[in-house]
């Protein structure tokens, strides 16, 4: 079998809830011969591919099963033996999912490739609690920023975003929460509302919200860590659903938004 008969499908698994994958994504899994899946892709989704070879290529507790280059080489090697490879990624393959890197790598080998978009956690997790990243008269734009760049640093774009009135969404940034707080405080925005949602849309969901000036204590109290979505901006203050959730689940904990 040659490479030209192999198809690689980059499938977005959604934010965590197994019901938030697209129908097209499910159909692709059902046709898969091999599934390479990440840590943030819900394992329940693998049941849609009962006969496929399943290979974990994600990162858990700081341990990487494979480097990005190794993953790309695995795809090329598998393409010599299998007709349909699904690369199952949490969220959307093109939102900090390295999907384009994988497409670029396989293109010279003649592997057919398709992208099946997924629901990104950057928008869906905030909306779960009634936080719209935009709202007329409150926020007319939003930034989505990675908490960890390829050089293992907080993106420098945050210093640009903090100067705007836009909503700022940071993915996988909990290990740099102190640095994030410091950047906002340096711009005299310690009173900016902030919400942190860990394991959003799953049964392990945890949340904390307050202000830039008090969020470190709140995050410590709630034992919040990655994987998490951090949302900063006035849209957080607008969420009645968030306030009601907090009132009924953390009545003994003070917050000020």
Q: Is 1 a catalytic residue?
A: no
Q: Of the residues 59, 80, 81, 241, which is catalytic?
A: 59
CA distances from 50 to 5, 47, 82 (A): 22, 5, 16
Distant-in-sequence, close-in-space partners of 251: CB < 8 Å, separation ≥ 6: none
Which CA distances in Å does 127 have to 19, 115, 146, 217, 242?
16, 24, 19, 24, 10
Nearest to 85 by CA among 76, 97, 96, 94: 76
- In sequence order, which residues have a C-beta less than 8 Å from that of residue 253 and are 6 or more positions away? 218, 221, 246
CA–CA distance, 60 with 240 (Å, rounded to integer): 34
**What Rg value do the Cα atoms of the chain yield, rounded?**
20
Instruction: Report residue 21 as tokens.
Output: 């994958």
Q: Is 38 a catalytic residue?
A: yes
Residue in 24, 27, 31, 172 annotated catalytic: 172
Catalytic residues: 38, 59, 172
């Amino acid at each position: 079998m040659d490479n030209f008969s192999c198809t690689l499908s980059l499938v977005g698994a959604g934010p965590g809830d197994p019901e938030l994958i697209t129908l097209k994504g499910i159909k692709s899994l059902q046709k898969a011969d091999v599934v390479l899946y990440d840590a943030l892709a819900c394992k329940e989704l693998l049941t849609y591919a009962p006969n496929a070879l399943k290979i974990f290529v994600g990162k858990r507790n700081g341990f990487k099963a494979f480097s990005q280059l190794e993953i790309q080489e695995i795809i090329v090697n598998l393409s010599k033996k299998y007709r349909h490879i699904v690369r199952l990624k949490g969220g959307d393959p093109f939102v900090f999912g390295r999907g384009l890197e994988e497409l670029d790598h396989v293109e010279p080998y003649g592997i057919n490739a398709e992208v099946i978009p997924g629901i990104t956690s950057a928008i869906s997790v905030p909306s779960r609690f009634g936080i719209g990243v935009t709202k007329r008269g409150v926020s007319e734009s939003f930034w989505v920023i990675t908490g960890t760049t390829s050089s293992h640093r907080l993106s420098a774009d945050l210093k640009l975003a903090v100067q705007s009135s836009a909503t700022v969404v940071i993915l996988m940034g909990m290990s740099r929460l102190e640095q994030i707080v410091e950047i906002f405080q340096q711009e005299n925005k310690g009173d900016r509302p902030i919400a942190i949602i860990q394991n959003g849309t799953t049964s392990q969901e945890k949340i904390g919200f307050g202000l830039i000036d008090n969020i470190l204590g709140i995050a410590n109290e709630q034992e919040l860590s990655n994987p998490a979505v951090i949302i900063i901006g006035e849209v957080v203050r607008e969420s009645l659903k968030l306030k009601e959730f907090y009132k009924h689940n953390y009545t003994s904990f003070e917050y000020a938004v």
